């Protein structure tokens, strides 16, 4: 098995950058969930959503970093993401709920950033009941 530590695609744009961590969360979203008078739970499940928190490694190319950062912070409702998984890749539509980074070093004519992290939230369920 080969190690793969680089690369994601956002809206068809490939970013070959180091990935430190891809954390996956699978929340279950209900249309309705309420208790009946006898204490039983009635639940109408919409589905399971796959949301991701991604941490990037150090990107030494300032232009590549800024291109990725500008793409991640575009004020658009949704993006199409393609992320590495155990079965190749997973493609989904979602939105970016937050982006964070911090200045690592201030240079004479620029700054270098580190700890770029973002959260991707799915638009539609990855899995539905039935």
1: in domain: no
The burial class, CB within 10 Å (0-12 / 13-18 / 19+), for 51 is middle
Number of compact structural domains in the chain: 1
Question: Domain containing 46: what range?
Answer: 6-122
Averaged pLDDT for residues 69-95: 95
Which tokens belong to 89? 């890749």
pLDDT at 20 exceeding the cut of 90: yes
* Residue with tokens 């992290």, as numbered in its chain: 117
Confidence class for position 2, pLDDT limits 50, 70, 90:
low
pLDDT at 5 exceeding the cut of 80: no
27: in domain: yes
Are the C-beta atoms of 79 and 101 separated by less than 8 Å?
no
Are the C-beta atoms of 18 and 59 separated by less than 8 Å?
yes
pTM check: above 0.95: no
Q: How far is CA 5 from the centre of its chain?
A: 15
Averaged pLDDT for residues 105-126: 94
Residue 87 has a pLDDT of: 86
């Amino acid at each position: 098995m080969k190690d793969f530590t680089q690369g994601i695609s956002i809206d068809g744009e490939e970013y070959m950058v180091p990935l430190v961590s891809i954390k996956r969360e699978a929340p279950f979203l209900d249309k309705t969930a309420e208790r009946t008078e006898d204490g039983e739970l009635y639940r109408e499940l919409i589905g399971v959503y796959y949301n991701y928190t991604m941490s990037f490694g150090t990107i030494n190319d300032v232009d590549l970093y800024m291109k990725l950062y500008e793409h991640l912070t575009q004020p658009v409702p949704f993006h199409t993401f393609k992320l590495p998984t155990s079965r190749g890749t997973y493609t989904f539509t979602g939105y970016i709920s937050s982006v964070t980074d911090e200045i690592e070093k201030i240079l004479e004519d620029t700054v270098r950033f580190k700890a770029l992290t973002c959260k991707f939230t799915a638009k539609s369920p990855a899995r539905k009941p039935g």
